[in-house]
Amino acid sequence: MTLPRVSIQHDDFDVGRELAALRADDGAVGAVACFVGTVRERSGAAADTLLMELEHYPGMTERAIEAMIDAAHQRFDIRGARVVHRIGALAPLAQIVLVVVSSAHRGEAFAACQFLMDYLKTQAPFWKKEHRPDGSAEWVDARVADDAALARWGLHSGNAA
């Protein structure tokens, strides 16, 4: 069974199952790298963030990440890559995003995983809104540091600045 390369979903994901699925039956794989992004407790206090709401652009988000995975295959000698991103209301500590990359050797897997995450942070249409216990809510600001992270790969971001 071949999994889609991109899944945008409300449901949580099982990291172990995703890692196993990506390298299943591929004897050329010698390395699997993964990144999991989770909902932070603001200022370290769980009470400060009640919920993180994730919005996306159905259709475009999937296409954008597919193109990023194509770019990763062009840049790095990798066997496979998959991205899972959750949407909807997520509580602190919840998993938000998963990037998994398989390759023959670790270097390419680590690099491609970081590349995909840097790319996704600044070029995939998702928006986070933070809901607080007092009923207030605020859209999360984009970070210039994320633009700088993409610049390391020779790519212009143009997101936060």
Partner 1 sequence: MKISVRYFAALREALGAEESVQLVSGSTLGGLRDQLIATSQRHAAALRRGRLLRCALNQVLSDESAVLDDGAEVAFFPPVTGG
Which residue, 22 or 116, is less far from partner 1 as judged by CB?
116
Binding segment for partner 1 (CB under 8 A), chosen from 18-26, 42-50, 102-110, 113-121, is 113-121
> Is there a contact between 87 and 55 (Cβ–Cβ < 8 Å)?
yes
Scan for tokens 């790298």, then name that residue: 33
| Contact pick of 42, 73, 75, 129 for partner 1 (by CB under 8 A) | 129
Least separation, in Å, of the C-beta of 128 and partner 1?
5
Binding segment for partner 1 (CB under 8 A), chosen from 26-34, 41-49, 101-109, 127-135, is 127-135
Least separation, in Å, of the C-beta of 118 and partner 1?
9
Among positions 43-72, residues that touch partner 1 (CB under 8 A) are 54-57, 59-60, 63-64
> Is residue 13 a contact point for partner 1 (CB under 8 A)?
no
Scan for tokens 């992004």, then name that residue: 37
Q: Which amino acid is at 56?
A: H
Among positions 86-105, residues that touch partner 1 (CB under 8 A) are 96-97
Other Cβ atoms less than 10 A from the Cβ of 4: the count is 11
Least separation, in Å, of the C-beta of 154 and partner 1?
17
